[in-house]
Structure 1
Amino acid sequence: MAVTNQPGPYAPSEFQTGILNCASDCSTCCYGLWCYPCLGCSIASDMDECCLCGLQMAIRSVYRTKYNINGSLCSDFMAYLCCPVCATCQLKRDIELRKEKGIF
């Protein structure tokens, strides 16, 4: 049986938006489409990581582990393999929603 979430201060959950829910935040979607490297740097900055880390599946895995979001390294890899812009935009949307709720 594969471990899909880690113990931590947050109850197991899902990402707050789907990977294809770009219409829920058009500005982030446009940001990702027209300046993908900048979006990655923004995510890395939010997570106090090196700018070069923002566009890698590893940062998604770190984020999932920190907030106890269900998933696996394989699901993170597949998300970035199939649609890296969508996966990156989903991560940024989730970060912004957590900031609004004061839990980031």
Structure 2
Amino acid sequence: MSSTLVIKQPQPVMEARDSDEWGSRICDCCQDVPECCFAFWCCPCFACKTTKAYGQCLCLPLLDIFGCIPVTTMSMRVSMRQRYGIKGTMCKDCLYATCCTSCSWCQMSREMRRRKIQVVLVSAKNT
């Protein structure tokens, strides 16, 4: 009995920071109307799609259903701010995640599309 282990190595990417601000405001839904309609009418599906594109577990946003503060939405905003070097506070992230959940997911999706930066590898070696 033999087994084969296949390893897919990620490619190193150079990180480029072009701004320390969000590329769009929280209510800039007119920039992509179909996306905002999708987020408004089916926010859990849109959140799962965006989380998957960000490189996290597909079902992670479904945890928000069980709490009064959507901690997954908030933590995704914090993570995105950290990854892209965007200024902001956890207090604002909590406010947007709680009061404007679908708009918050739309803003994060627009930011990912605008930046088009892949995950940065640390200590990547060429062999």
Fold similarity call, TM over 0.5: yes
Match of 1:4 in 2: none
1:10 pairs with 2:17: yes
> How far is 1:9 from its partner?
6.0
- The sequence identity of aligned pairs, in percent, is 31
1:40 to 37, 44, 47: 47
Q: Could you list the per-position Cα deviations for residues 5-50 of structure 1 after superposition, in whole angstroms to 9, with x for gaps in the alignment?
A: xxx8636511101101000111210110122111111111112211
Query: In terms of Rg, which structure is larger?
Result: 2
How much is the aligned-residue C-alpha RMSD, in angstroms? 1.9
Check whether the contact 1:12–1:69 (CA below 8 A) recurs between aligned residues.
Answer: yes
- The equivalent position to 2:79 in structure 1, one of 62, 65, 79, is 62
Is 1:84 the counterpart of 2:98? The answer is no
Residue segments in structure 2 that go unaligned for 5+ positions in a row: 1-14, 62-71, 119-127
What's the counterpart of residue 93 of structure 1? Answer: 110
Partner of 2:37: 30
Paired residues, number: 94
Could you tell me which runs of 5 or more consecutive residues in structure 1 were left unpaired when the two chains were aligned: 1-7
Distance 2:19 2:58 in 1: 28
